[in-house]
Each structure stands twice: as structure tokens, then as C-alpha cells.
Structure 1
Amino acid sequence: MTKEALRLHGVRKVHGTGENQVVALDGVTLSLSAGTFTAVMGPSGSGKSTLLQVAAGLDRPTSGEVFVDGREMTGGETELTRFRRDRVGFVFQQFNLIPTVDVLANVLLPAKLAGRRPDTARAEEMLGRVGLGDRLRHYPHELSGGQQQRVAIARALVTSPAVLFADEPTGALDTRSARDVLALLQEAVRVHGQTLVMVTHDPVAAARADAVVFLADGRIVGRMISPTVDAVAERLAHLGDDLVRG
């Protein structure tokens, strides 16, 4: 059997109370196998980023269960923080690099935060994998946006996370840099067996994935296997029809 990397069961996330209550996720159930690349799409306010945050343990669901690498995301904040550092990777639209330290130090940061001895050889290996083996001592401001995002990817992968979560990772990049970053993420899945969940609004980015999950009003309203750019764009245009039928 294929190992399950991520499972959400009946996940509901509610913000606010009374008349100000907003249901961000409404009974989401989802299972993703290890070594797969899944894109999450939907209109603004559909719950995409909330889904990512809850799945990654950055936010707690109001109800329901979340399992990462077979472990339910429960317990105290210290325990969850430790688990995230060991088993979860993050890549965001804004690269979130520390500007006052060099590229190598940025990649070593997760180990330092976890109180572990930094594995410099592993960090250098990851930077070589993303094509920045010759930029170890450069600072973030000396790199292009695409290069900075590649540093962020190396930092996310250095701990060999069970699941890598990416929230609009190409949103701040030009077309060429975006293409390079997507190819790198795809390689992490295809060649190195990484599990990747990526929120995106871009059908071109989504077409790189093995499957696309479509959200609307906090609910999963469709799933597409082996997506193409045109098929994804067409499905996005008809998400409202899915809600009416639902």
C-alpha cells in the first residue's frame, strides 16, 4: 500500500462568534499519498490558505482531525512546534529569509531553532540541489527573487519533511523564475519522493501537479487528476456551478 502523508477528516474551521462568525473550512475530508504533488485552488476567500495552515499545524481546526505522516496534530504548542520543525516544511510567497545572515546560515536556521547541531554538509547539499552551491556566502539582498525562493525551498527541505507546504510560492516571481521554481518543486517530488501541497491561483502552476483539489466556500467541490492548463482554467470558471448543484 502507498503510505499516507496527509489526512484531514471532517475538518471545520470557524472564525468569530455569533453574527460575525465566518466558516473558513466546512467539513473538509482529504487524503494524500506520500510522494505526490497536489495543488489547491479556488477563488479568493474559498479557504485555501486556511486549509494549508490547518493541515500544516500552524492553526488548529475548530473540529475534525488532521494527521501528518500518521501522527494526529494534537497536543500542546511546544509539542506541535517540535513536530512541525521535524516533519513539516514551508515555502511562502514572501521568502521570509533573514536579511542579516548569508544563504548558508538561512538554510541552517531550522536546525538551530530546534536546538540541534547544524548539519552544514546537508545544507550545502540542498543548496547545490537548488542550483546555488556557488552562492553560500551571499546575502539575500544579493540574490534575485527567484534565487531567494530557491534558498527558501532548500531551507524547507533540509530537514527531510514528511510534507512540504507551499503557499503561492511563485506569486512574487517573474515568469521565468516562476517556471524554474516550479520545476525545482516538481523535481523534489518526482526524483526525491517529497510530498508537496501547493496553494496557487495560477493554472500554469497547477498543471505541474499530479492532482488539483478545488475549494469553494470552505468545501472541496472537485478534484482533477493529471491536470492541464486549459482544463484547470475551465474548472475554475465553473466553480460557482458546483456550489449551486451542491
Structure 2
Amino acid sequence: MADAVRLEELRKTYGTTTALDGVSAAFADGTFTAIMGPSGSGKSTLLQCAAGLDRPTSGRVFIGGTEVTANNDTAMTKFRRQRVGFVFQEYNLLPSLTVEQNVVLPLRLAGRRANHSRGRELLRSLGLDKHRNNLPDQLSGGQRQRVAVARALLTEPAVIFADEPTGALDLRSAREVLQLLRAVVHEHGRTVVMVTHDPVAASYAGEVLFLADGRLAGSLRAPTADAVAERLAHLGELTGVAA
């Protein structure tokens, strides 16, 4: 199985603080991986560097076989818009645009023709077709996050990075979004890399990678919420930081 994303010896420093300390990892095509760790472990920094939102101090990032870190900032931005999808905790939908306009926005930002038929197809598949002319503030939090997933899928990206995608949702909406992300992997064949602090959310992934003090601290396949919570508690004890 080919790697959708490969990280080689990533280091990221902010002054005298080391956020990532030589992290290497690979995320295969068609997999769902959660990244977890205590506060300050480097998980959000890892996602930002892997997604091309931030540049590591050293090390290399490959997405779909292309070394993203070899590009200048302009080329990195262009590549990211074409090959990477994002789902954020706060949805990042533009309030003045309709649902459909938000979904096709990545194509417009990339200088391509807005494919409204593809956008409507995605909205239908996610049960949102009747809301396509609504503004985001007319939707529930779970519906807005589903719009964000549709937007992430529009460009058929090599990978979707999700940063705390259920952090602002109630339990029912969170479960629906997590089931949707799992379907994105199993039915659409996409790769999802998700940062979360929630053991229940992590249990929807096929594998969990744990970080502590900017380094990989183990993994867990076919995770359960209880097993993830136990591993996190152990990491917190080792680092002296609450998870």
C-alpha cells in the first residue's frame, strides 16, 4: 500500500522550545489515523507541518509522493489547495456564502472553475442537498461540519487533515461526523489524519499514534476508547502533564 503522507525526521523549534523532535511516520492510502498526546506534546504542530500549513525547522514531508517541503511558500500553498483537504473544529465556513458556495470555494481559490455539479453531488451524498442555498448560521453544528467535510472532499485530495473536528459538537453530532470521516476512508478511499483529545473520537480510527514531548510514544491499532484513555493517562504520568 502506497503512503499518502510520509514524514521524515521532522523537527520544529520556536526559539528555545522544541515542539517536534525528530518525528518520522507514514500514513498509508485509505487509512484513518488519530494523533493524540498530552497538552504540549506537539500533536497540533505535527498536523500543521504535515499539512503544509507550517514549515518544519528541518525534516521532510511527502504527500502523494511529492516532497512538499522542497517547495517555496507559493508553490506549497498551490499544492495544498489542490491535494489536501481540511476539517477544523470551528468549521471555517464563510458566513456570507451559501452552503454550496462554501463547498466549491477551494476550486475558486485554486483558480479553477467552480464545479457546482460536483458540489451538489457531495451535498446530496451527505444529506445536505436541501440546505445548499442556506447560510452556515442557519445550520446546526453537525450540519456545518458535514459541509466542511464536503468542501474537503471536493478537490479529491490525497489526504484530509482533521483538527479536533468534533470539539465543538454535542455527542450525537460528534458521532455522526466521526462515522462520516470513517465512511470517507472506507467508501471514498481517502486518507484521514485526525488530531483529537477525545478517546471516543480516536476509537473511530484504525490506528492511534501517541506523542509525548514532541516525540512518537507508541501506537495502538484497532483502538477502543478505554484502551486509548489508559494509554493517555500513562503518557500524562510520564510527562507530568495532564492529557
d(CA) in 1 for partners of 2:121 and 2:19?
A: 39
> 4+ residue runs of structure 1 moved beyond 6 angstroms?
none
Contact 1:35 1:194 survives alignment (8 Å): yes
Question: Does 1:3 find its partner at 2:2?
Answer: yes
Match of 1:216 among 212, 216, 228: 212
Matched with 2:150 is 154
Residue 39 of structure 1 deviates from its aligned partner by 0.1
Matched with 2:47 is 52
Contact 1:221 1:242 survives alignment (8 Å): no
Match of 1:141 among 110, 134, 137: 137
Matched AA of 1:83:
F
Question: Does 1:106 find its partner at 2:102?
Answer: yes
Match of 2:168 among 168, 172, 180: 172
d(CA) in 2 for partners of 1:221 and 1:153?
A: 29
Contact 1:107 1:155 survives alignment (8 Å): yes
| Cα pair distance change 1:192/1:199, threshold 3 Å | same
Match of 2:31 among 8, 32, 36: 36
Match of 1:198 among 194, 201, 204: 194
RMSD of aligned alpha carbons: 1.1
Matched AA of 2:61:
V
After TM superposition, list the pairs within 5 Å mapping 1:74-113 onto structure 2.
Answer: 74-113=70-109
Contact 1:123 1:158 survives alignment (8 Å): yes
Matched AA of 2:203:
A
Residue 240 of structure 1 deviates from its aligned partner by 4.2
d(CA) in 2 for partners of 1:50 and 1:129?
A: 32
Residue 119 of structure 1 deviates from its aligned partner by 0.8
Contact 2:38 2:236 survives alignment (8 Å): no
Residue 98 of structure 1 deviates from its aligned partner by 0.6
Residue 154 of structure 1 deviates from its aligned partner by 0.5
Question: Does 1:117 find its partner at 2:116?
Answer: no
Contact 1:40 1:197 survives alignment (8 Å): yes
TM-score normalised by L of structure 1:
0.95
What runs of 5+ residues in structure 1 fail to find an aligned partner?
A: none
Matched AA of 1:168:
E
Matched AA of 1:14:
T
Matched AA of 2:57:
T
d(CA) in 2 for partners of 1:172 and 1:201?
A: 12
* Equivalent residues, number: 239
TM-score normalised by L of structure 2:
0.96
Residue 131 of structure 1 deviates from its aligned partner by 1.3
| Aligned-residue identity in percent | 61
d(CA) in 1 for partners of 2:211 and 2:72?
A: 29
Residue 76 of structure 1 deviates from its aligned partner by 1.3
Give the match's secondary structure for 1:170: coil
Matched with 1:69 is 64
Give the match's secondary structure for 2:152: helix
Residue 242 of structure 1 deviates from its aligned partner by 5.6
Residue 194 of structure 1 deviates from its aligned partner by 0.7
What runs of 5+ residues in structure 2 fail to find an aligned partner?
A: none
Match of 2:234 among 235, 238, 241: 238
Matched AA of 1:26:
D
